[in-house]
């Protein structure tokens, strides 16, 4: 059983081609496409948030299971850690939006604020916006660094104190992310449509990023298995990951329809404007998003057998990942580009391929820095003997 990952020449070639393809598509989009400054910054925000949210979701996955003293997830823990430990890359990708704040956020134009936005200036102002971003990124980076450091330390130490420390930092991370996942979503996404607000938005965004993270973990596990690694991960582990993808896709849909119905029923102009813009100018994508994020995983993973089929689970996860990318697209583009950004252009495809290729390279690099399974984890043996109740 090979527990040490090595980046092969083929992997480097594929990712290099991905980076070059992404750059070429961006250049082609800039030369031949119809674009605006707002659209460029919107793409930076979209993909920066995508990467940083996957890192946060992955560490949340690890932290919750460590706190609960879960055994089965030990076999996939290092995969999630590899995703999460690249929070620094997500930070580098999203920090540039500070320089494009006037193109993304209407509230930043203080000389043109109406009475509604003037009331929100205590929270929505540039110095406080930047300060909050620093707090988020510093807090996330520190806690994730400690979790990763202690996890790798457990490979060479069987001292249970390491595990208890790891559990403590995991608990701190869960508390911190419980607050900052909502406030960062308000800052970076919801404030694009500054007149609009939803009390469900933080929950909705967090569940979306968590479902997306589960999809990415599944994709990585299956890809690594096809490369000859993780042969100890069997149908039982994939079944549980499939249950997560199925269950939280339903929860995402519950929050989606709850938010929509509350706004539809109250019919207040300041609230309905959010959906009017999306249903009017992004109608097809608006409904396709629901189909991809809910209908597909609901029917594809309803049966027990489908959750244990590798190819079925892989394709479903890829579709779900695309769906939640589209969900972010719909959260950002209408408020930044208006009807000019109603379709997915070459720019969106190029930026996404570029960012994902860079992120994948960083993930694979992280996988080389330790064993693919925690060697002295208290539930090491239990994770291999795990079996679902039939």
CA separation for the pair 166, 155 (Å, rounded):
13
- Domain with 61 in it: 9-110+120-375
CA separation for the pair 198, 13 (Å, rounded):
44
Q: Is 358 exposed, middle or buried (0-12, 13-18, 19+ CB in 10 A)?
A: buried
Q: What is the mean pLDDT of residues 73-77?
A: 91
Instruction: Give yes or no for a contact between 83 and 363, defined as CB atoms under 8 angstroms apart.
Output: yes
Q: Is residue 66 part of a domain?
A: yes
Q: Is residue 29 part of a domain?
A: yes
Residue in the structure block whose two tokens are 């996890």:
151
CA separation for the pair 25, 351 (Å, rounded):
8
Residue 346 tokens read as 């070459």
Q: Is residue 73 part of a domain?
A: yes
Q: What is the mean pLDDT of residues 252-260?
A: 96
Which range (52-56, 183-187, 270-274) has the least confidence?
Answer: 270-274
**pLDDT over threshold 60, residue 252:** yes
Cα 8 off chain centre by: 26
| Closest of 366, 377, 384, 357 to residue 230, by C-alpha | 384
Q: Is residue 368 part of a domain?
A: yes
In tens, the pLDDT along 345-390 reads 999 999 999 999 999 999 999 999 989 988 888 887 887 777 776 6
| Predicted local confidence at residue 341, as pLDDT | 67
The DSSP symbol for 370 reads: S
Domain count for the chain, please give it: 1
Q: Is residue 2 part of a domain?
A: no
Which range (20-24, 257-261, 337-341, 353-357) has the least confidence?
Answer: 337-341
pTM for the whole structure: 0.95
| Predicted local confidence at residue 111, as pLDDT | 78
Q: What is the mean pLDDT of residues 161-171?
A: 94
| Average pLDDT of every residue of the chain | 93
Q: Is residue 386 part of a domain?
A: no
| Predicted local confidence at residue 2, as pLDDT | 60
**Rg of the chain on CA atoms, in Å:** 21
How large a percentage of the chain has pLDDT more than 90? 78
Q: Is residue 242 part of a domain?
A: yes
**pLDDT over threshold 60, residue 1:** no
Q: Is residue 387 part of a domain?
A: no
| Predicted local confidence at residue 270, as pLDDT | 81
> In Å, how far are 49, 91, 215, 318 from 324, measured between CA atoms?
12, 20, 10, 10
């Amino acid at each position: 059983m090979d527990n040490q990952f090595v980046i092969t020449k083929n992997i480097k070639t594929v990712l290099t081609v991905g980076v070059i393809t992404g750059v070429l598509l961006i250049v082609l989009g800039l030369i031949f496409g119809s674009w605006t400054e707002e659209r460029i910054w919107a793409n930076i925000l979209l993909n920066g948030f995508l990467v940083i949210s996957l890192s946060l979701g992955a560490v949340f996955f690890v932290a919750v299971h460590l706190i609960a003293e879960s055994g089965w997830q030990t076999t996939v823990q290092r995969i999630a850690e590899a995703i999460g430990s690249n929070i620094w890359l997500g930070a580098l990708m999203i920090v540039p939006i500070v320089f494009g704040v006037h193109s993304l956020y209407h509230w930043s134009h203080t000389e043109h604020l109406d009475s509604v936005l003037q009331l929100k200036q205590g929270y929505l102002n540039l110095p406080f916006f930047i300060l909050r971003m620093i707090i988020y990124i510093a807090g996330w980076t520190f806690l994730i660094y400690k979790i990763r450091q202690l996890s790798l330390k457990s490979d060479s130490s069987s001292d249970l104190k390491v595990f208890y420390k790891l559990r403590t930092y995991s608990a701190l991370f869960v508390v911190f992310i419980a607050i900052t996942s909502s406030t960062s979503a308000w800052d970076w996404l919801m404030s694009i449509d500054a007149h609009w607000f939803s009390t469900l938005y933080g929950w909705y965004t967090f569940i979306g990023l968590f479902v997306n993270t589960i999809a990415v973990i599944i994709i990585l596990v299956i890809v690594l298995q096809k490369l000859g690694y993780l042969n100890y991960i069997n149908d039982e582990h994939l079944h549980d990951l499939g249950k997560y993808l199925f269950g939280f896709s339903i929860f995402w849909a519950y929050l989606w329809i709850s938010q929509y119905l509350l706004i539809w029923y109250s019919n207040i102009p300041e609230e309905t404007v959010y959906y009017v813009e999306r249903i009017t100018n992004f109608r097809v994508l608006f409904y396709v998003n629901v189909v991809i994020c809910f209908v597909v995983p609901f029917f594809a993973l309803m049966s027990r057998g489908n959750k244990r089929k590798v190819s079925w689970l892989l394709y479903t996860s890829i579709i779900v990942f695309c769906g939640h990318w589209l969900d972010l697209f719909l959260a950002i583009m209408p408020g930044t580009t208006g009807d000019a950004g109603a379709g997915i252009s070459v720019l969106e495809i190029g930026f996404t391929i570029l960012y994902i290729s860079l992120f994948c390279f960083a993930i694979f690099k992280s996988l080389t820095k330790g064993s693919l399974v925690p060697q002295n984890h208290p539930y090491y043996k239990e994770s291999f003997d795990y079996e679902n109740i039939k």
